[in-house]
């Protein structure tokens, strides 16, 4: 490799990020990371100053989901680094590519309990695909390249680079050429299991496609939809698989699992062949695992061999490039009677939106928003009842437009994710859907929206409760309500105004459509505070320890 003039380590990092095609980084400065922040001045990188390091990681997470490229976040040593951990874990659980760069105390001080020193390398080890602790400034270009390769290859995930301050300040020769990383290609599936799967599909009479977040990771929506159309097999999705087939597609039975549709859960329970594609048999999906698809043979198609057979025995395993597998499996099984049964269940158990009472009915609000928002809208969800209502009632056309913390269930995800999505895809409309519990976790990021004049919309469903916890205490803890009362909430509309965001409050059903019209038509940010029934629950619900065919429903009075 040919080199030219000397360059400081921090500047090498910035140059390497630019070579990787990075255009946006999220972060918060501090002592140990200060050399890198100095190197950002005059670079091509756009730095987004969040108001809490957790938000930097969560925004980078959303950026990675929307673009498919690693999101990048920066933080200083000590509390800055530990504040990234939740966002790193969130990316790990949902297989999102991310590169997190933390400052570290100078090498001679490491291990001395120096000011703001923590072993972030060790702390993060169970959560990341790989960690780097550079000890030589000459290693930095290679470290950055390898970090991006690892983050993007195979099953994507987060990678940590812990940068000692003295290494960032040292100088060395700059490489003459910067070579961007390339993800390792996925291997082609083997021919034998592909042929076996074709035969199993042709012999089946009650097959179901069980689709997870692996379709988003593989960017295989087009191939999945072609496969579903060619075979005519009904489709159910996980939370992370929503949007892999259009929400309006005839054969889409909806989300399965704990809060899945009755049509989806019954289809899986009664099927004779379960074709799992990019899914991991999560406990929220399967319910009682021993009774999940009890009569079915299982084909499991996944890019990660570690997932195949991990929780449920499979009859045919196909690992490698999901696109190649789906393109090979275009057959036409004789399943007309089964399809009609599934579609009739979809009609018989369709959602109803005529809930009694004067409160705004959140599912109806979400369905109306879905009807008017259009395909160019990204929904960034927080965690709780509103998250499940969005999953049930919003009709997504692509998984990249449904941002939701699945595996980790991170309250406070919504606002930072909306910021990351807005910067990743500025031409899209971005709406954060949150609850009065979740939004308080990262409400300070309203300041980030203001600083960068981002046109992020917020829909806040306010029941003055920690709604999902309250629902479980009602159903499974004899209505012994413990620490779920949020009736001392602030005036959220006034809070939004204090951050310079226009706001409105929706307290009755006549105000719903005017609010939705503003969400769709206003060019700038908007905060819509929606008051809902404190006793409203998410239905149906599969109780813990039960199979998915044993769903609880609302009592009809």
Q: One of 93, 98, 388, 468 is an active-site residue; which one?
A: 468
User: For residue 484, what is the DSSP state?
Assistant: -
Q: One of 3, 115, 476, 477 is an active-site residue; which one?
A: 115
Q: Report pLDDT for 206.
A: 98
The residues near 170 (Cβ < 8 Å, ≥ 6 apart) are 8, 9, 137
| Measured distance CA(439)–CA(73) in Å, rounded | 21
Does the annotation count 53 as an active-site position? yes
Q: How far is CA 248 from CA 243, 389, 393, in A?
A: 10, 16, 11
| Measured distance CA(82)–CA(129) in Å, rounded | 17
Q: One of 7, 8, 26, 53 is an active-site residue; which one?
A: 53
For residue 513 the two structure tokens come to 């459509």
The residues near 530 (Cβ < 8 Å, ≥ 6 apart) are 360, 362, 365, 459, 460, 461, 462, 505, 506, 515
Spatial strand order in the sheet of 526-531 = 402-403, 377-381, 429-435, 457-462, 526-531, 503-506
Q: Report pLDDT for 192.
A: 97
Q: How far is CA 105 from CA 40, 80, 141, 150, 164, in A?
A: 19, 12, 20, 25, 5
Please, are residues 157 and 90 in contact by the beta-carbon 8 Å criterion?
A: no
Per-residue pLDDT of the chain (557 residues; tens, 9 = 90+): 444 668 999 999 999 999 999 999 999 999 999 999 999 999 999 999 999 999 999 999 999 999 999 999 999 999 999 999 999 999 999 999 999 999 999 999 999 999 999 999 999 999 999 999 999 999 999 999 999 999 999 999 999 999 999 999 999 988 878 888 888 999 999 999 999 999 999 999 999 999 999 999 999 999 999 999 999 999 999 999 999 999 999 999 999 999 999 999 999 999 999 999 999 999 999 999 999 999 999 999 999 999 999 999 999 999 999 999 999 999 999 999 999 999 999 999 999 999 888 899 999 999 999 999 989 999 999 999 999 999 999 999 999 999 999 999 999 999 999 999 999 999 999 999 999 999 999 999 999 999 999 999 999 999 999 999 999 999 999 999 999 999 999 999 999 999 999 999 999 999 999 999 999 999 999 999 999 999 999 999 999 999 999 999 987 54
For residue 363 the two structure tokens come to 């599912």
Q: How distant is the alpha carbon of residue 256 from its chain centre?
A: 17
3-class secondary structure, 20: coil
Does the annotation count 165 as an active-site position? yes
Domains and CATH numbers, the chain: 3-175 (3.40.50.970), 191-348 (3.40.50.1220), 362-531 (3.40.50.970)
Please, are residues 143 and 149 in contact by the beta-carbon 8 Å criterion?
A: no
Q: How far is CA 146 from CA 9, 97, 131, 142, 210, in A?
A: 17, 13, 10, 6, 34
3-class secondary structure, 262: helix
Please, are residues 527 and 501 in contact by the beta-carbon 8 Å criterion?
A: yes
Please, are residues 167 and 5 in contact by the beta-carbon 8 Å criterion?
A: no
Please, are residues 423 and 473 in contact by the beta-carbon 8 Å criterion?
A: no
Q: Report pLDDT for 174.
A: 87
Please, are residues 146 and 182 in contact by the beta-carbon 8 Å criterion?
A: no
Q: One of 11, 15, 165, 262 is an active-site residue; which one?
A: 165
Burial zone of 4 (CB within 10 Å; 0-12 exposed, 13-18 middle, 19+ buried) = exposed
Q: How far is CA 28 from CA 101, 107, 144, in A?
A: 11, 22, 20
The residues near 155 (Cβ < 8 Å, ≥ 6 apart) are 95, 217, 303, 304
User: For residue 527, what is the DSSP state?
Assistant: E
How do 171-175 and 457-462 pair as beta strands? unpaired
Reported as half-sphere exposure (CB side, CA atoms, 13 A), residue 333 has a value of: 25
pTM recorded for the entire structure: 0.96
Q: Report pLDDT for 556.
A: 56
| Measured distance CA(136)–CA(147) in Å, rounded | 16
Q: For 27-171, where are the alpha helices, taking DSSP H only?
A: 34-40, 53-67, 79-93, 120-124, 140-152, 165-169
Does the annotation count 468 as an active-site position? yes
| Measured distance CA(438)–CA(416) in Å, rounded | 12
For residue 158 the two structure tokens come to 């987060």
Reported as half-sphere exposure (CB side, CA atoms, 13 A), residue 215 has a value of: 28
SS3 of 87-105: HHHHHHHCCCCEEEEEEEC
Please, are residues 71 and 59 in contact by the beta-carbon 8 Å criterion?
A: yes
Does the annotation count 115 as an active-site position? yes
Please, are residues 235 and 249 in contact by the beta-carbon 8 Å criterion?
A: yes
| Measured distance CA(177)–CA(2) in Å, rounded | 8
Question: Cα Rg for the chain, rounded, in angstroms?
Answer: 24
Find out whether the peptide bond into 406 is cis, omega within 30 degrees of 0.
no
Q: Report pLDDT for 445.
A: 98
Q: How far is CA 366 from CA 14, 395, 485, 504, 547, in A?
A: 42, 9, 24, 17, 28
Q: One of 34, 116, 196, 450 is an active-site residue; which one?
A: 116
């Amino acid at each position: 490799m040919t080199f030219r003039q000397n360059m400081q380590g921090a500047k090498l990092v910035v140059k390497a990020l630019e070579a990787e095609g990075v255009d946006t980084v999220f972060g918060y400065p501090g002592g140990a990371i200060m050399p890198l922040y100095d190197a950002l001045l005059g670079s091509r990188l756009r730095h987004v100053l969040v108001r809490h390091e957790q938000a930097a990681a969560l925004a980078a997470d959303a950026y990675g989901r929307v673009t498919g490229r690693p999101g990048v976040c920066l933080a200083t040593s000590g509390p800055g680094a530990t504040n990234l951990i939740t966002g790193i874990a969130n990316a790990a659980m949902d297989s999102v590519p991310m590169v997190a760069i933390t400052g570290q105390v100078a090498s001679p001080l490491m291990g001395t309990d120096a000011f703001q020193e923590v072993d972030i390398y060790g702390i993060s080890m169970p959560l990341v695909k790989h960690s780097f602790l550079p000890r030589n400034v000459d290693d930095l270009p290679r470290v950055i390249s390898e970090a991006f390769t690892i983050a993007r290859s195979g099953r994507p995930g987060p990678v940590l680079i812990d940068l000692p301050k003295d290494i960032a300040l040292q100088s060395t020769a700059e490489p003459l050429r910067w070579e961007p990383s390339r993800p390792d290609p996925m291997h082609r599936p083997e021919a034998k299991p592909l042929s076996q799967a074709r035969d199993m599909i042709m012999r089946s009479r009650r097959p179901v496609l069980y689709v997870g977040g692996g379709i988003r990771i593989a960017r295989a929506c087009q191939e999945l939809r072609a496969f579903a159309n060619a075979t005519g097999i009904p489709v159910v999705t996980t939370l992370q698989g929503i949007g892999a087939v259009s929400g309006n597609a005839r054969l889409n039975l909806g989300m399965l699992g704990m809060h899945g549709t009755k049509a989806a859960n019954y289809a899986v329970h009664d099927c004779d062949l379960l074709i799992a594609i990019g899914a991991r048999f999560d406990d929220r999906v399967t319910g009682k695992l021993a009774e999940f698809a009890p009569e079915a043979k299982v084909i499991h198609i996944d890019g990660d061999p570690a997932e195949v057979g991990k929780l449920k025995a499979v009859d045919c395993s196909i690992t490698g490039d999901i696109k190649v597998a789906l393109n090979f499996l275009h057959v036409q099984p004789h399943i007309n009677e089964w399809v009609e049964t599934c579609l009739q269940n979809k009609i018989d158990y369709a959602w109803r939106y005529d809930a009694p009472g004067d409160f705004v009915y959140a599912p109806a609000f979400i369905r109306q928003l879905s009807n008017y928002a259009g395909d160019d809208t990204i929904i960034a969800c927080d965690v709780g009842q509103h998250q499940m209502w969005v999953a049930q009632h919003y009709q997504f056309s692509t998984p990249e437009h449904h941002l939701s913390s699945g595996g980790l269930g991170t309250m406070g995800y919504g606002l930072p994710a909306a910021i990351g999505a807005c910067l990743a895809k500025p031409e899209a409309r971005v709406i954060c859907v949150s609850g009065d519990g979740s939004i308080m976790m990262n409400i300070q990021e309203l300041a980030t929206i203001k600083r960068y004049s981002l046109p992020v919309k917020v829909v806040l469903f306010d029941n003055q409760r920690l709604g999902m916890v309250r629902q479980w205490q009602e159903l499974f803890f004899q209505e012994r309500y413990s620490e779920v009362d949020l009736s001392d909430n602030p005036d959220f509309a006034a809070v939004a105004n204090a951050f310079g965001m226009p706001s409105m409050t929706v307290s009755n059903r006549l105000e719903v459509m005017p609010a939705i019209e503003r969400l769709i038509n206003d060019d700038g940010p908007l905060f819509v505070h929606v008051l809902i029934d404190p006793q409203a629950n998410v239905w149906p619900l599969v109780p813990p320890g039960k199979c998915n065919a044993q769903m609880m429903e609302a009592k009809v009075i």
